[in-house]
Amino acid sequence: MISFLILMATVVCFSAILALALNFQWGLGGMVNFGLAGLYALGAYSCALLMLKGGANTFFATLGAMAIVAAACGIIALVTLRVTEEDYFAIVTLGAGEMLRLVVLNEDWLTKGALGLTGVPRPLGDVIAPEYYQYFQLGLAVVLLLGTVWFLNVIARSPFGRIVRALREDDVVAATLGKHVLWARVRIFAIGGAIIGLAGSFHGFYYQYIDPTQFSNIVIAYAFMAVIAGGRGAHYGAIGGAAIVMVLLEGSRFIKDLIPVLDSDQLAAIRIILIGVGLILLLIFRPQGFAREYRLQVEIR
């Protein structure tokens, strides 16, 4: 039971990092990212390939994956927002995410297609004894999560953070005040992309095996549920929302012990229904989420 709780907490940590990335892009910046699953896959595969085929260690492979996803997000934002309205941006991200998924699925020479990549190395996996590794992995996940929250809090309290929120509220006013709207949005999406790359890298470390089925569009739904439940724009709320979604998702596996007549398909459907019902109830009784976005307060004397 202790091992299950430790592994569950680890999953919550890197799921919360993914939710924080979406919260920064959409919750603070107002940039809807429906390509989250494809970018998440890009981070996981980039990190794994840099280690398996490029010979990089886990640290540089993670940095490389973060840089690759950040560059991909920056290019998507730059190319799209220069030629079209913001309303179409979400559609473009959905198409980009699906394109990345198809590349992962069909480019066998690089990703081994549907077979996936096996034997993904873990940080210090050859140094720490296997019986203690789960504790180290959980500690590393917590450190990365806290580091991500700290980084995003620093941004939120900086002048750039005020620009981010201004663009979400009214980009015309921000442009009138002399802010470079396009460049700011490219940076917002790229920073969120780097965090997605970090989450994807840790996904690969945790499972040591990645294949296209792990990055279906249901990942997008879970991430949006976490941000909505936690409170749009609230970093700590996104963590709490991710924890609630993952606990409901993984904890519902034990329903089969209570109702043995359920088969695997029925159980999977019930798990999704439970999360959906929980989200609906949340939107009815607490539409603002569990936490509130940080707001700069100025005392006027």
- Write out pLDDT tens, residues 162-199: 899 888 888 888 888 888 889 999 999 999 999 999 99
**Residue 295 lies inside a defined structural domain of this protein:** no
Can you give the pLDDT at residue 255?
73
pLDDT value for 86: 66
Q: Is residue 224 in some structural domain?
A: no
Whole-model pTM: value is 0.92
pLDDT reported for residue 85: 65
Instruction: Give me the pLDDT at residue 285, please.
Output: 82
User: Cβ distance 150 to 284 under 8 Å?
Assistant: no
Is 44 inside any structural domain?
Answer: yes
**What residue ranges of the chain have pLDDT lower than 70?**
1, 84-86, 252, 256, 294-301
Structural domain includes residue 275: no
Q: Is residue 159 part of a domain?
A: yes
Q: For residue 117, what are the domain limits?
A: 2-216
Cβ(68)–Cβ(46) below 8 Å: yes
Is residue 47 in a domain? yes
Q: Which residues fall within 8 angstroms of residue 153, CB to CB, at 6 or more apart? A: 235, 294
CA 47/CA 36 separation, integer angstroms: 17
Q: Is residue 292 part of a domain?
A: no
Is 174 inside any structural domain? yes
Calpha distance 143→234 (Å, rounded): 19
Work out how many domains the chain is built from and give that number.
Answer: 1
Burial of 176 (0-12, 13-18, 19+ CB in 10 A): exposed
